[in-house]
Amino acid sequence: MQLTQVRLIVEGFRACFAFYRDVLRLVPQVDDDRGPYAKFSLPRGDAAIALHARDDIARTLGDLAGGAGDRALVVLKVDDVDAVVRDVRARGAAVVKEPSDAWGRLRVAYLRDPDGNLIELQQWTAPAP
């Protein structure tokens, strides 16, 4: 597994986008404050901070992220989402959304850790744009 990003689930997408771009001076992958998603690369390493509009992630996860409880999720890149889900389930993980195709280029599944934090497992099925 590789940590690819910590994704913040935000209500005020444009204000958060401006903060990370203009105040912290992080460089967005695409300079577009309309959302629903933005990725800011960090100066060192491959990890990133990303923003995801709450209403969009709620459409993806249904009731799982619809409330105000989730503020962030950890994104882990894996080679085979289905295999990892089988393995972590066998070790007691709480799988909250089974593997499915998303955004035309990923296969994703969602877990919760024992404290309820949201984790996305992602497998790239097509190159990033």
pLDDT at res. 68:
56
Task: Please give the Cα distance from 12 to 42 (Å, whole number).
Answer: 22
Residue 129 confidence (pLDDT) above 70:
no
pLDDT score for 66: 46
DSSP for residue 19: I
Q: What element of type H or E holds 38?
A: strand 37-41
pLDDT beyond 90 at 4: no
Domains of the chain: 2-124 (3.10.180.10)
* CB-neighbour burial class of residue 1 (10 A; exposed 0-12, middle 13-18, buried 19+): exposed
> What's the pLDDT tens digit per position in 31-89?
999 999 999 987 777 778 999 998 888 887 776 554 557 888 888 889 999 999 999 99
- Residue 103: per-residue pLDDT: 85
Which parts of 27-67 fold into alpha helices (H)?
54-61
- Looking at the chain, the whole-number percentage of residues with pLDDT higher than 90 is 43
Residue found under tokens 């009731």: 63
Tell me how long the chain is.
129
